[in-house]
Amino acid sequence: MRHETFTNPDAIEFKVVPAPKKGEHGPNLSNDTDRMAHTLTGIFNEMAAEGWEFLRAERLPNDVGYDMTGTAAKEVTVLVFRRESCQPVMFRRASATAGPRPVAEPEPALRPVAEPLVLTNPLEIVRD
């Protein structure tokens, strides 16, 4: 059989990055909201330049560290991006002379075997 390489047009790959916890300082950014918007805009533009499309933001549980009472359950916020996969996929092309593949027959289901019935007295057959 020959191997050929194709790109699967339906393949999608995902990338998950941690969301920033604080906005970066910059000129004319007077409050936290403006700083966060500026930081997110930078992340989205950088990812878009690489072909990634923003899909959504998710908050996920993340058990990290220990405190006096045990595990400190925290949440982490991530940004999810997607794009069409550019990874080649190997396919096998069946030869033209090969016939259809034989289909394996399913094995019969196993049933418990009953003990044989042994009659010691003849039975009467009653007919109407």
Domain ranges of the chain: 2-93
- Cβ proximity of 16 and 77 under 8 Å: no
Residue 2 pLDDT > 80? no
Q: How confident is the model at residue 11 (pLDDT cuts 50, 70, 90)?
A: confident
Please say whether the beta carbons of 23 and 39 come within 8 A: yes
Say if CB 38 and CB 27 are below 8 A apart.
Answer: no
Mean pLDDT: which of 17-21, 70-74, 85-89 is highest?
A: 17-21
Contacts of 90 (CB under 8 A, 6+ apart): 3, 4, 5
Q: Is the pLDDT of residue 101 over 60?
A: yes
Tokens of 29: 């950014």
Percent of the chain at pLDDT > 70 equals 52
pTM: predicted TM-score of the whole model, two decimal places: 0.56
Confidence at 63, pLDDT banded by 50, 70, 90: confident
**β-pairing, 70-84 with 53-67?**
antiparallel
For tokens 């002379």, the residue is 97
Q: If pLDDT is split at 50, 70 and 90, which confidence band does 14 have? A: very high
Tell me what the pLDDT averaged over the chain comes to: 77
Greatest Cα pair distance, the chain, in angstroms, is 107
Residue at 93: amino acid letter? R
pLDDT of residue 1: 46
